Amino acid sequence: MAFSLDEHWVWDFWVADDGDVFHLFYLHAPKALGDPELRHRFARIGHATSADLHHWTDHGEVLGPGTEGSHDQTATWTGSVVQGNDGVWRMFYTGASFESDDNHRNIETICLATSPDLFVWTKDASFSLSADARYYEKLGESDWPEEAWRDPWVYPDPSGHGWHMLITARGKSSGLRSGGVIGHAWSEDLETWSVLPPLGPASETFAHLEVPQIAEIGGRSVLVFCAPRTTADDDGAMQTSGVWAVDTPGPPAPVWVDDAELLAPAPYYAGRIVQDRSGTAVLLAFIGSSGSSFEGTISDPIAPEAVMR
């Protein structure tokens, strides 16, 4: 496997490329917990580097949960890293705050940390971005156990007009098997953000759309995300999980997520498209549950064109 740890499970991740080295930022939690479902409450962000996306050097933890009352008081979850025009590296990540130890209700908030070198990170306590109740479901508006507002994917507008942020969110009046939307925010300078309506209608088959990314695969502009998809046949509801892709011209154009095709089936999840040193788009994904066991590792690069029709 491209990346694994002996004493920790590894799952969601994101990659920053400084031009010479690939920097992997990953969620991890100790296997000593016993139950991998507990990992979400104990998630920390680690850092590793590679020259080729195959061989990695681990540098350990770079961010952990904040103090009581902070937006990331329980755990630090998935994000992305970009370098602004000022040369500063910014990590937009998810702060998780659980109501209590005995239920799954939690509020997710976009948080920020900065770094001069991708190795040492400092949280910016003055920054936070929350779901706007005008467009997105808030905790308690349905039986969904979380205020979904996570997995920020930040990238520059192709025309040079500011920066876009794609976010895992849920639309208003969502159901337990539907309602997933791609949340959207925009900034001119990476500092002040405006939350905008979701990119397209709420899904009828995905309850949430995790770890979104806009990428180029084989000359196609696609939205990549991961989720279990619920469909119905004569025998009832069926779920298919994995990494999905759907054509999109990118914001502000809407995306029709229910047209997505399966890019990599479970146990692959939380896939990321990365350009290797040859300029080829490759897919990395974390490997989760396989049968009765949870692997908790990150795959070697996969050629996504092999499964894109």
Q: Which domain holds residue 120?
A: 8-306
Distance CA 253, CA 245 (A): 16
Per the CB < 8 A criterion, the answer to whether 46 and 61 are in contact is yes
Within-domain flag for 34: yes
| Domain annotation covers residue 110 | yes
CA dist 233 and 141 (Å) reads 29
> Letter for the amino acid at 290?
S
- pLDDT at position 305, please? 62
Specify if 1 maps to a domain: no
Q: What is the pLDDT along the chain (309 residues), one digit of tens a residue?
A: 589 999 999 999 999 999 999 999 999 999 999 999 999 999 999 999 999 999 999 999 999 999 999 999 999 999 999 999 999 999 999 999 999 888 889 999 999 999 999 999 999 999 999 999 999 999 999 999 999 999 999 999 998 999 999 999 999 999 999 999 999 999 999 999 999 999 999 999 999 999 999 999 988 999 999 999 998 665 557 789 999 999 998 888 899 999 999 999 999 999 999 999 999 999 999 999 877 789 999 999 998 865 554
pLDDT at 233: 60
Cα distance between residue 175 and residue 182, in whole Å: 16
**CA pair distance 249, 264, nearest whole angstrom:** 22
Q: Residue 309: its pLDDT value, please?
A: 46
> For tokens 């502000």, what's the residue?
252
Query: Is residue 3 one of the residues assigned to a domain?
Result: no
pLDDT at 227: 97
Question: DSSP string of 154-166?
Answer: EEE-TTSS-EEEE
pTM metric for this prediction: 0.96
Encode pLDDT of 92-104 as tens digits.
999 999 998 888 8
Write down the mean pLDDT value for the chain.
94
Unique residue bearing structure tokens 């920053």: 16
Query: Is residue 153 domain-resident?
Result: yes
CATH number of the domain at 80, please.
Answer: 2.115.10.20
Q: What is the pLDDT of residues 150-196, one digit of tens each?
A: 999 999 999 899 999 999 999 999 999 999 999 999 999 999 999 99
Domain assignment present for residue 200? The answer is: yes
Count the helix, strand and coil residues of the chain and give each as a percent rounded to the nearest 5.
5, 55, 40
d(CA 27, CA 35): 16
In a domain, 2, yes or no: no
- In what side-by-side order are the strands of the sheet with 236-247? 210-217, 220-233, 236-247, 261-265
What are the beta bridge partners of residue 298?
A: 3, 286
The total of structural domains in the chain comes to: 1
Supply the pLDDT for residue 231. 81
Which 3 state secondary structure label does DSSP give 33? helix
Helix (H, G, I), strand (E, B) or coil at 255: coil
Residue 22: inside a domain: yes
